[in-house]
Amino acid sequence: MYYDLSVSDQKLETQPKYIVVMSGSGIPSESGLMRTYYASQLAKSFPKTQIIVTMPGDTTDSTSACYLMKEELIIRGVESNRISFENKGTNTRSQAQEVRKMLTGNPQIIVISSPEHMYRSLATFHKIGLTNATGQPAFEQPVKASFLFNDEELGGHDIVPNIGNNTQIRYQFWSHLKFQTIVYREYTAIAFYKLKGWI
């Protein structure tokens, strides 16, 4: 369910004219840092592409989230003259509408957002006429290391069973529980957007 929300049906046909970074939870935050990381990687792949940061706030205030997102992109090698702001929108719908006002025609754009937010983002952009929008989900990358341990070597009380070799209990169960919460929240948002006629 989580993965399905991240998949973009539309493929990149040509070099994108714009990379649109959705705001997320500000910066520093998990979503903000992940999105700016992916934006900087795409910016390196497409050196002529402009970047639009969608984050409400004062673009001249060095403590505002939009300013800090720009700084994060610059730290990661993106030239400052390639970055512009959409700083009026306060949700996915209004951000898409404000981006629409900034663009001429229906250019090829890549929207960067969290995986669970990709379907709603693209559907919103398509609904307002930006039908050449495709997506880049900001997936976390798993650590490529073994997290197994020997309970006896670490010591401690024996009142609980040994779980050093059981990553299902230690990690998988809790990760899937977190994903369920994320997905159900997003499905609720999608239902709201559909009822409003926004997607």
Domain boundaries, the chain: 2-143
Mean pLDDT of the chain: 90
**185: number of Cβ within 10 Å:** 11
Q: Percentage of the chain surpassing pLDDT 70?
A: 97
Cα 26 to its chain centre, rounded Å, is 11
pTM of the predicted model, to two decimals?
0.87
Task: Tell me the torsion sign for CA atoms 69, 73, 75, 76.
Answer: positive
53 membership: H or E segment, kind and range = strand 50-54
For the stretch 72-130, pLDDT in tens is: 999 999 999 999 999 999 999 999 999 999 999 999 999 999 999 999 999 999 999 99
In CATH, which superfamily holds the domain spanning 2-143?
HUPs (3.40.50.620)
**How far apart, in whole angstroms, are the C-alpha atoms of residue 102 and residue 111?**
15
| pLDDT at residue 85 in the model | 96
pLDDT in tens, 47-78: 999 999 999 999 999 999 999 999 999 999 99
Helix (H) / strand (E) containing 118: helix 118-127
